[in-house]
C-alpha cells in the first residue's frame, strides 16, 4: 500500500510541476508571439527591435535562474543571457562578430553545464557517444569546408575565417556534450541550435539568397532550441528533487 501511495504522490507531483512550468513559460510564448507578429524588417534595426528579439530568451534565462538559483549563471541561465546579448548584436549587421563572440561564450556555458556532475548521472554509453561525436564533427567540418570560399569573399575575411572555425568548434562541442547527457530535450535543443546557426550562416555569407522564409527557419529553430535547453535544465532539477523525496518516503 505504501508503494501505491508513493507512486500516486509522484504522479501528482509530476502533474503539478508540469502545470507550474507551463504557467512559468507563458512569458516566453507571449514574447515569441509578439516577435513573429511584429516581424520587424531587418532593414530597420532599432533598440525596440533588439528588445523584442531578445525578450523570449531573457524570459527563459529568468525562468532557469528562478528554478535553479544563482549558480546557474555559470551554466544554462548564463548561456541564455549571453545568447540574448548575441540577439541584440545581430540586429545591427556591423556587430555580427560581436554577436558571434557572445553566442560562442553561451555555448561554452552550455557545455560546462552539460559536462557537470548534475548531468553526468545519465551519461550515454561510450560507443554511442563516440559515434555521435564522429557524426557531429563530420557535419561541422564538412559545413565549414563548404562555406569557406564564401567566407573568404567577405570584406573582413581575415577575421571571420578563423572566427567561424572556432565558433563551429564550440557549437559542435556543445552538441557533443548534449549527447553525453542522454536527455532527449537537451539533445534535441542542441541539434536545433546547430540547424539554426548553420541556416543563418548560409544566408549571412551569401551561400543562398537571404529571404523572409530563410529568416523564419532560423528564428523558429533558434527559439525552439533555447526552449528545449531551458526546459531540459529545469526538469532535470525537478527530477532529482523528486527522486530524493521518493527515497525518503520508502
Q: 61-74, pLDDT tens digit by residue?
A: 999 999 998 899 99
- Overall average pLDDT of the 201-214 stretch: 95
Q: Please write the tens of the pLDDT for every residue from 80-89.
A: 999 999 999 9
Q: Please write the tens of the pLDDT for every residue from 183-195.
A: 999 999 999 999 9
Residue 227, CB half-sphere, CA atoms under 13 Å: how many? 18
Looking at residue 242, its pLDDT comes to: 39
- Overall average pLDDT of the 47-74 stretch: 95
Cα–Cα distance between 90 and 96 in angstroms, integer?
5
The mean-pLDDT minimum among 59-63, 116-120, 217-221 falls in 116-120
Q: Are 10 and 246 within 8 A, CB to CB?
A: yes
Amino acid at each position: 500500500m505504501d508503494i501505491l501511495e508513493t507512486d500516486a504522490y509522484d504522479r501528482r507531483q509530476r502533474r503539478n510541476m508540469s502545470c507550474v512550468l507551463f504557467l512559468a513559460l507563458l512569458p516566453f510564448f507571449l514574447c515569441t508571439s509578439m516577435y513573429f507578429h511584429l516581424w520587424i524588417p531587418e532593414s530597420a534595426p532599432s533598440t525596440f527591435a533588439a528588445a523584442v528579439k531578445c525578450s523570449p530568451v531573457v524570459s527563459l534565462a529568468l525562468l532557469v535562474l528562478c528554478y535553479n538559483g544563482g549558480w546557474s549563471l555559470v551554466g544554462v541561465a548564463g548561456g541564455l543571457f549571453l545568447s540574448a546579448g548575441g540577439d541584440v548584436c545581430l540586429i545591427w549587421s556591423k556587430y555580427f562578430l560581436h554577436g558571434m563572440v557572445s553566442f560562442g561564450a553561451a555555448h561554452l556555458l552550455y557545455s560546462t553545464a552539460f559536462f557537470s556532475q548534475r548531468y553526468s548521472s545519465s551519461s550515454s554509453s561510450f560507443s554511442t557517444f563516440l559515434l555521435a561525436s564522429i557524426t557531429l564533427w563530420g557535419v561541422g567540418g564538412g559545413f565549414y569546408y563548404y562555406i569557406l570560399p564564401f567566407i573568404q569573399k567577405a570584406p573582413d575575411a581575415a577575421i571571420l575565417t578563423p572566427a567561424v572555425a572556432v565558433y563551429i568548434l564550440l557549437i559542435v562541442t556543445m552538441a557533443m556534450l548534449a549527447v553525453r547527457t542522454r536527455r532527449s530535450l537537451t539533445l534535441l535543443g542542441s541539434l536545433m541550435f546547430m540547424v539554426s546557426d548553420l541556416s543563418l550562416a548560409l544566408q549571412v555569407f551569401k551561400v543562398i539568397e537571404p529571404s523572409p522564409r530563410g529568416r523564419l527557419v532560423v528564428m523558429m529553430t533558434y527559439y525552439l532550441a533555447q526552449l528545449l535547453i531551458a526546459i531540459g535544465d529545469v526538469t532535470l532539477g525537478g527530477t532529482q528533487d523528486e527522486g530524493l523525496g521518493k527515497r525518503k518516503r520508502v
